[in-house]
Amino acid sequence: MAEDKIPDYEEGKRPLFLRVLKGFILLGIIYFFLSYLPSYIWYLKKYLPPGFPVMLIDIVSEIIHPLVPLLGFLVGVLVFLSVVFYMTKAYGPLLIMAGLVYSYYVYLLFHGGVIDLVFPEVFGAGSGLTASLDLTIIMILAMLPAILTIAKGLLLTFK
């Protein structure tokens, strides 16, 4: 029955140096897309073509939840750890945590599936325009990889 257990550390895997290197590369990529870009989306205004509506960047930067950059960094750290501890006893719990944090990240990014947009007063009519977007189905589809990651982590943990 000992063959069914996940090996505890270095059996048949890449050297630790290569796993750490791969983990740092993935951490950098994840940090850039999930944490840095949402934090500094307003900075893109300088590089937009002249005909692009700058108001769109203002609206997008306002609807980003303040916890999104922190959760993006945390997802990157958990992915780094899961790459370093690949196929050890810690791999399953790390996958579960990474999946949970990423699903919460997606939930906050989509504001629970319904995004309310408030456009500023444009024509001097006295009040701005409010629009509500129901993106629940897209949010659930974006959470599917995280749900599958959680399932894989559960299977590896309780195997």
What residue segments make up the domains of the chain, in order of their start? Answer: 14-157
Would you say residue 85 has pLDDT above 70? yes
- Cα distance between residue 23 and residue 93, in whole Å: 17
Determine what percent of the chain falls in helix, strand and coil, rounding each to the nearest 5. 65, 10, 25
Burial class (CB in 10 A: 0-12, 13-18, 19+), 146: buried
Query: pLDDT tens digits, residue range 90-126?
Result: 999 999 999 999 999 999 999 888 888 776 666 555 6
Sequence-distant (≥ 6) Cβ neighbours of residue 8 within 8 angstroms:
88, 89
Backbone angles phi, psi at 133, to 5 degrees: -110, 125
Mean pLDDT computed over every residue of the chain: 84
Question: Are the CB atoms for 70 and 35 separated by under 8 Å?
Answer: yes
What pLDDT is recorded for position 124? 57
What pLDDT is recorded for position 30? 95
Cα 111 to Cα 6, 115, 134, 138, distances in angstroms: 38, 6, 10, 12
User: Bridge-partner residues for 116, per DSSP?
Assistant: 132
What pLDDT is recorded for position 122? 61
Would you say residue 17 has pLDDT above 70? yes
Query: pLDDT tens digits, residue range 42-79?
Result: 777 777 777 776 667 777 777 888 899 999 999 999 99
What pLDDT is recorded for position 127? 66
Would you say residue 5 has pLDDT above 60? no
What pLDDT is recorded for position 24? 96
Q: What is the pTM of this model?
A: 0.80
